[in-house]
Chains A and B, each alone.
Chain A
């Protein structure tokens, strides 16, 4: 039987004897007898490592991840350089916990400090935390930051946020007692500025998305101006890969920049673990939730890194903490940091530009087909919405037969397509050929 307990039965007996006990059962004498489980847990039988590996392969074989992927919608397939998983597999990192003891955790603390610097420099902000669970929970935490710093309980959000993010902020807002109001998109797929301006009075702030869920590049200058005119805060939910090409939140005056760093070096992994980032201006630093690493000196004057500003946190402030967050997504943050440092400024720019080029090539080739029209006549990043004459379900079912994961079908029947640097011209041309076959097949039928 598999066991990770090193002590032999004989050693256990000797240890029990050392503490004056005869049996393991006596260790549990504080537990009322009638509560104790009088049987073994009803679980599948234990297995060897070899059998476990086969079992897990069996599960994998029930999956079909598709050959070609043209879907994003909040989870993006990008190239992950080998150094990222290789370095994150250093078990000094991954088998450690939160760096409570700075002297023996300088590696982790410095890595957090480097992550914070990467996030600040990518977003153009002044302070970042050590991460939160994902982009959706970053949005949830940003609502608390806005409420507490503005002392207003009304928060606006863009209809262009990812639907999972919207679902999460609704759940949290109900508990926080925050009144949420949606700002719709206009016919160009962009924030309806008149609606935004009308909704802003008495609001703590507005959560915008750049690019938005439908891929459209928003005019964040105009949004920031309107939000600040109303003395509200602007939270900008950004795809970090887009920041290789797009203006940074700090450049247009966003007060808080958030998002999910999954596109930077994290595999799709069926939705997690990903990593949420939160960065802000210096004046809101004490409203940030969670861990923050800071630079200081040791007794001899050498540079040292520590967890800092802990007076915000749950283990000190308990019911008055800025958040309940304790564990975050540190290892994922290290992976994203290594990704960003591998790519460097040129790599981040090139990836962003390749994404734009691939998505535009896909859109233009696809929309040459009969019955495929681009919904929004608006600049986009690596995603776009197409309306189709054939039902989207018919298209995707047919693509699935060919090992292609097509665009995500939206509730209104449109299709949200995505292309990244991973989609070659050959793949895109193949997809478009297949779509053409599907159209012709549909017309014959």
Chain B
């Protein structure tokens, strides 16, 4: 099973080529000044087309996606990516981004309509589609909060409160937006500790960032009180939309009291994750934040969608052009396929599937917060397993050998040895049952034959990699042997 695989650079043979171009039909010119000319040959692979195709085809076979099998990576919502959405996204690939508005009405109208749908789904007043990913959306949303306070002359509001259960991007985005971060401890039930929150808020509070359902997969029952505490202190509420897949058509962030939020289109709205992107992180907000939104805003005037740059209080641009348009088209197609009832059905079944798994693993694994969960559940190895030296990593590696992508592991940080399982609505009952069976078999093996679990994965191209050496002596590019 173990088999290393050459780099494309190691397949290079001088003189081979996979490209061709038409012969140059205009005079060649020697226009580059002598001191700006590149000397020598670029060090890129020289391969034939068939070698290139086999190389990347075989590399893809050394990878695992949702199309290969169950991928319950918590917080990442690895749902099925509908094929028709790939097809429709490729229909408008040749559009240059800077065209007269009357030439781009189809693309602009689609974006404008999607903004409207997202407003309805989230209970927000307006959306911008510009941010390229969830963390980029967080940063953009926090910039809006900052601009809001600055505009009011409320300059002391420099602190963003973040629960210790939050995604790592939350505190990192707050710092990038120029805030200080105040972390508050969670209550024993995993929710926000209201007393700790009351103590944390004050005249320096710019806002609170919250995921609901929380990273524990639990709905924050005190959300109304939380919103009241933050708002009364003069702060704003930011909704991290990473877990939106639990609540579509059931409850809306805007109705919970949130002022600003982002959505990960690549999670909730089924666009492929691309091996780590491109995603898309639209930001929604209430009316009072609209003046600060990035330019251009999409506005409808006399039946035409226009790009409005004339917004003096705007934070400006957060990237080139208008957003990851190709991703936006896929999310649009998903919403139009399902409609309101279909989105609710997706959320209901995402939650049902998570509870079904949690219920079946009760008594086999430890469940730290055992109440009805939302779209994901958290389990940990039992004391007995850990006494045998079997930890979350080992269980993850054993799952790989059984053909599953492991859950998110060691997150959230507030749960020791966490495994965060998010099945999504895409999975059938047989898939869930088979996964549950695998989890039970691994639990049994952990107690009866822990060495065997430690040796996992056995059925993969590589064994467990040495990450320490990788970080200590980083090799981040190929260099030819002397």
Contacts and interface: CB of A to CB of B under 8 A. Distances in A.
Contact of B359 (A18, A47, A135): A18
A187 to B, nearest CB: 17
Given A96-B275, A107-B61, A75 B24 contact: no
Contact of B94 (A65, A342, A350): A65
B252 A37 contact: yes
Interface residues of A, number: 208
Contacts, number: 678
Contact of B476 (A3, A105, A127): A127
Contacts of B279: 327
Nearest to B305: A62
B143 A171 contact: yes
A7 B463 contact: no
Contacts of B97: 74-75, 268, 270-272
Given A171-B316, A219-B35, A309-B474, A304 B465 contact: yes
A412 B475 CA distance: 48
A199 to B, nearest CB: 22
A30 B218 contact: yes
Given A103-B457, A342-B52, A296 B465 contact: yes
Q: Tell me whether chain B's interface is mostly helix, strand or loop, or mixed.
A: loop
Contacts of B90: 85
A437 interface: no
Contact of A127 (B248, B353, B477): B477
Contacts of A31: 219, 221, 247, 250-251
Contacts of B61: 92, 107
B321 A63 contact: no
Interface string A208-221: 00000000011111
Contacts of A326: 133-135, 168-169
A120 B480 CA distance: 13
B138 interface: yes
A196 interface: no
Interface stretch (B42-50, B194-202, B283-291, B378-386): B42-50
A1 interface: yes
B100 A220 contact: no
A162 B53 CA distance: 35
B112 to A, nearest CB: 11
Given A41-B121, A104-B64, A164 B106 contact: no
Interface string A1-18: 111111100011011101
Contact of A94 (B82, B92, B93, B275): B275
A275 B324 CA distance: 10
B466 interface: yes
Contacts of B338: 2-4, 46
A124 to B, nearest CB: 9
Given A315-B411, A318-B172, A331-B274, A309 B346 contact: no
Contacts of B121: 41, 43
B95 A270 contact: yes
Most chain A CB within 10 A, of B67, B138, B223, B256, is at B67
Contacts of A65: 92, 94-96, 99, 103
Most chain A CB within 10 A, of B62, B63, B218, B264, is at B63
B104 A63 contact: yes
Interface in A336-351: 338, 340-351
Interface in B274-300: 274-279, 294-295
B259 interface: no
A372 interface: no
Contacts of A111: 56, 59, 275
Contacts of B107: 59, 63, 270
Nearest to A48: B337
A133 B132 contact: yes
Most chain A CB within 10 A, of B4, B47, B81, B465, is at B465
A114 interface: yes
B7 interface: yes
B17 interface: yes
Contacts of B426: 4-6
B18 to A, nearest CB: 5
Contact of B273 (A66, A95, A275, A292): A95
B391 to A, nearest CB: 15
Most chain A CB within 10 A, of B176, B345, B400, is at B176
A200 interface: no
A295 B10 CA distance: 15
Contacts of A293: 476
A143 to B, nearest CB: 11
A93 interface: yes
A207 B261 CA distance: 32
Interface in B1-48: 2, 4-5, 7-9, 16-19, 21-22, 24-29, 31-33, 35-39, 41-47
Given A11-B429, A106-B62, 14 more contacts: A2-B339, A18-B356, A19-B359, A42-B340, A53-B84, A59-B92, A60-B92, A66-B96, A114-B478, A175-B139, A177-B178, A298-B465, A331-B274, A379-B36
Q: Which 8 A-B pairs have the closest CB atoms?
A: A271-B321, A107-B63, A41-B340, A271-B97, A331-B274, A95-B65, A62-B106, A46-B339
6 contacts: A35-B251, A40-B340, A89-B86, A314-B135, A357-B29, A424-B22
